[in-house]
Amino acid sequence: MFTTSNKNDELKELKRQKLESFRNYHARLISDLGIDRMDFNIKMPFYDRQGRNVVGIFASEFKKANGFYFELITRDLSPLDPERTVYRAPNNPAFEEEYEMNEKFSYLVPIEELRIVNPTSVAISGPSAVVTEKLSNKTMTSYKAPAPIEDAPYGEMTIRDYMAIHTGRPVSTKTWLNDLIRNNR
């Protein structure tokens, strides 16, 4: 007969084995990114109280210098997406201000705010590859900061950018705009 402790140990071992199989599957990408295997993980999405599809990202994961990489899974620890999409939570020193903490001490990050990693770009360019972002089922390329004497085109402003500018909160998907807001507080 199994005790609760035995079942918990079996579950931990199954999760460890599954995680290792995910890391093996993405070994080439992990190598191309130049990250440690431990900086790649799996996350199960869920719906928060507001009905948003989110994942829990821990403070230590937000603090990883190169960002934190993961694949989404189902309850039975299988890949959620048949295309095996890899997501990146970038290093974010303002995560405590931007996201709500749950009872498990992780921060709730909406799926649409995560960056999607393009393995082909990474294979060609390495860690400096452009990372794409998924917003409302539409993939967009991240914006690079405009040259110091240039300005970003008004026509490329998103509603999120507008919200960032008018509230003074770094909620834009454009890192350079968030940095500009943080530096002018």
Q: Count CA atoms within 13 Å of residue 158 on its CB side.
A: 13
Mark whether 25 and 10 lie in a shared domain: yes
Q: Global pTM?
A: 0.64
CA distance 60 to 42: 15
Nearest-angstrom CA–CA distance, 80 and 68: 18
Question: Are residues 8 and 94 located together in one domain of the fold?
Answer: yes
Assigned token pair, 143? 């914006």
CA dist., res. 45 & res. 70, Å (int): 11
- Considering the domain architecture, whether residues 132 and 155 belong to the same structural domain is answered as no
Whether residues 153 and 183 share a domain: the answer is: yes
In 3D, which of 147, 170, 151, 145 has the Cα closest to residue 160? 170
pLDDT for the residue numbered 133:
44
Q: Which of 31, 62, 32 is nearest to 128 (CA)?
A: 32
75 shares its domain with 163: no
pLDDT in the model for residue 128: 58
Q: What is the pLDDT of residue 45?
A: 94
In tens digits, what is the pLDDT along the chain, a chain of 185 residues? Answer: 556 678 888 888 999 999 999 999 999 999 988 889 999 999 999 998 888 999 999 999 999 888 899 999 999 999 999 999 999 998 888 899 999 999 899 999 999 888 888 888 777 766 655 344 444 444 433 444 444 555 666 667 788 888 888 888 888 877 778 878 888 87
Domain holding 51, by residue range, is 4-141
79 and 157 belong to one structural domain? no
For residues 122 and 86, membership in a common domain is answered with: yes
